[in-house]
Chain A
Amino acid sequence: DARVTQTPRDKVTEMGQEVTMRCQPILGHNTVFWYRQTMKQGLELLAYFRNRAPLDDSGMPKDRFSAEMPDATLATLKIQPSEPRDSAVYFCASALGTSGSPQETQYFGPGTRLLVL
């Protein structure tokens, strides 16, 4: 049963600390998305990659957030330094996309719940 995995599932940290979240997309999927969900803002797209190349990170605060894909089986989202307003659930999703296709089904991971004190 192929699924997106995310680690850690829960993270509590103190303000100013570095936080790294990891995502393993479904094997063979070439598109990876990072989302953030809060009660106040709802779901927001932070960034996405296709074939490991960043295509859009306009939704991500550039000063403290960074997203990378070191290889096709791992995507990372890093926050440095973390702030209380970063507290949210961070979802990773993957899809098998073809250039120009708007109909890719995205498969979401279980999320990482982040609490910054």
Chain B
Amino acid sequence: KNQVEQSPQSLIILEGKNCTLQCNYTVSPFSNLRWYKQDTGRGPVSLTIMTFSENTKSNGRYTATLDADTKQSSLHITASQLSDSASYICVVSDRGSTLGRLYFGRGTQLTVWP
């Protein structure tokens, strides 16, 4: 069964600290993996998209890694800010079609405290 599991479910960190969010998947075949940030009451915003051949991609203070062999991805946030408080969602696409079928993680709720 194709699944995407994210951990931890929730996380609280102090402003300025780093943190790492995990995404493990069993989706096969694999096309790409996306990380989204969703602020409360708003739509998700794309942070990174990685294909099979990419093992790291950065977007400002956000760095995503992908290990396609172990089917694991992580999202590392450096020097966290209050505005990083949000839900972070991992989405994996297979190669069933042009877009691929999408498999969604349940998200990690990050809270950054001052």
A-side residues, CB < 8 A to B, are 4, 31, 42-45, 48, 50, 55-56, 91, 93, 97, 99-111
Interface size class of B (residues with CB under 8 A): 20 to 34
What 6 new A-B contacts, CB under 8 Å, besides A42-B89, A43-B104, A102-B31? A56-B99, A93-B43, A99-B98, A103-B49, A106-B46, A109-B43
Residues of A within 8 A of B32 (CB): 102-103
Interchain CA distance A101-B95 in the complex, whole Å: 11
Residues of B within 8 A of A55 (CB): 97-99
On whether the beta carbons of B105 and A110 are closer than 8 Å, the reply is no
Interchain CA distance A31-B97 in the complex, whole Å: 14
Q: Which residue of B lies closest to A6 (CB)?
A: B43
Q: Interface majority SS on B: helix, strand, loop or mixed?
A: loop
Chain A nearest CB, measured from B90 CB (Å): 10
Interchain CA distance A102-B31 in the complex, whole Å: 7
Given A108-B44, A111-B43, CB of A44 within 8 Å of CB of B99: no
Residues of A within 8 A of B73 (CB): none
Q: List 24 A-B contacts (CB under 8 A).
A: A4-B43, A31-B99, A42-B89, A42-B105, A44-B104, A45-B102, A50-B98, A55-B97, A55-B98, A55-B99, A56-B97, A56-B99, A91-B43, A91-B44, A97-B98, A101-B98, A102-B32, A105-B46, A106-B46, A108-B43, A108-B44, A109-B43, A111-B42, A111-B43
